[in-house]
Amino acid sequence: MSNPTETLDALGLLCPLPVLKARKRLKSMPAGAVLRVLADDPAAIIDVPHYCAESGHRLLSQEDSDGHQVYFIQKSG
């Protein structure tokens, strides 16, 4: 996996906060940058890919790690 530009720790946050925080962080990042998002909200499994599809950002990967999910999102642009 390409090295993330930034990491967003959304552990313990419930829907829709992980996606809202990811959207805010991505806004300030340059096109092509990669945001790693850590989330343990079960709804994030649906919300994060849906957000990427709607916003045009690229979901590079989605994996489970120690009871939470790790998403790598590449900013479009």
User: Does residue 52 carry a catalytic annotation?
Assistant: no
Query: 6-74, which class in CATH?
Result: alpha beta
pLDDT at 16 exceeding the cut of 80: yes
For the four alpha carbons of 41, 8, 32 and 70, in that order, the dihedral sign comes to negative
Catalytic residue chosen out of the listed positions 4, 5, 15, 29: 15
**For residue 2, pLDDT beyond 80:** no
Residues 56-73, mean pLDDT to the nearest whole number: 97
**DSSP 8-class letter at 49:** H
Q: How far from chain centre, in Å, is Cα 58? A: 10
